[in-house]
Amino acid sequence: MANYRPIGLLIMEKSSLVNPLNARQRILDAAVNVLAQHGYTGAGVQEIVDVSGTSKGSFYFHFSSKEKMVMALVDRMSEKLIKATLKNVRNEPTPLGRVVTGIGSLLSTFSKRRKIAHVLLINVLGHGKSNDMKFLPMREKFSTFIKIELDNAISVGQIEPQDTELIAHMWFGAIYEIIMRWLIVGQPNPLTDATNTLILSLLRSVGAPDQYLELS
């Protein structure tokens, strides 16, 4: 029960006082915190259930294993993140406009939710015995989003033809690294201070026209 703080406690009905949210949700919520603090290996099931105010039995009733639970968590978080990003991007008329807005949205979201960034980007990489990317759906999704818009930008003549796949990964890597540094060494603070330089540089890297650079 330790440090679990339900929101809107006052307006809940009597029977909900003990278990304001269902156990599954509370476990996932607790897991974000514990994973952000200790990483995949360091996050013990015991600590997660202690923080969530549930029990090991409940944990394994709702999830078939610790790994599956983290996968569910990462999936949920990255899906939300991508959805929110795509929503913000919807009204932009041009491909480059959409990438730029998308990147800004990503930085802004992470800036507000440090722990989520931690879990999605750091803790679950290279855990345990496997080195695959099963915990990194966001990596693929965001890179693909960038690639598609760069391809569109080529189609509509915003930029010249080039290897968009490789460049999309470079862009993702550049963004990722900036977020990582913010997570680990705390700079820049706030993270969003990096937005302008980051976007300007990325646009230049694909030879976006000066006029576009000025507008952004």
Partner DNA sequence: AATGAATGAGCTTTCATTCAT
Partner DNA sequence: AATGAATGAAAGCTCATTCAT
The only residue of 3, 9, 12, 42 in contact with DNA, by rule CB under 7 A:
42
125, 147, 139, 101: which is closest to 35 by C-alpha? 125
Stretch binding its own copies (CB under 8 A), from 5-13, 50-58, 74-82, 200-208: 200-208
Write out the two tokens for 140. 């693929």
Distances (CA, A) of 173 to 35, 104, 140, 184: 22, 15, 11, 16
Distances (CA, A) of 130 to 15, 23, 68, 126, 127: 44, 29, 14, 7, 7
The only residue of 127, 141, 152, 216 in contact with its own copies, by rule CB under 8 A:
127
Residue type, 46: Q
Least Å distance between CB 37 and DNA? 13
The only residue of 9, 12, 22, 184 in contact with DNA, by rule CB under 7 A:
22
The only residue of 33, 51, 54, 102 in contact with DNA, by rule CB under 7 A:
54
Tell me how far apart the alpha carbons of residues 216 and 105 are, in angstroms, rounded to a whole number: 14
- State the binding partner of 22 from its own copies, DNA, none, CB within 5 to 8 A by kind: DNA
Write out the two tokens for 144. 């693909």
Stretch binding DNA (CB under 7 A), from 56-64, 87-95, 140-148, 151-159: 56-64
Least Å distance between CB 12 and its own copies? 27
Write out the two tokens for 155. 């189609």
Least Å distance between CB 23 and DNA? 3
| Angle ∠(64,70,72) on CA atoms, nearest 5 | 75
Spell out the residues 6+ positions from residue 206 whose beta carbon is closer than 8 angstroms to its own.
150, 153, 159, 162, 167
Q: Binding of DNA at residue 24 (CB under 7 A)?
A: yes
The only residue of 26, 62, 98, 118 in contact with its own copies, by rule CB under 8 A:
118
Return the half-sphere exposure (C-beta side, CA atoms, 13 A cut-off) of residue 81.
30
The only residue of 67, 94, 154, 176 in contact with its own copies, by rule CB under 8 A:
176
- Binding residues for DNA, rule CB under 7 A, total 25
- State the binding partner of 114 from DNA, its own copies, none, CB within 5 to 8 A by kind: none
The binding site for its own copies (CB under 8 A) comprises 37-42, 118, 122-133, 162-163, 166-167, 169-178, 180-181, 183-185, 188, 194, 197-198, 201-202, 204-207
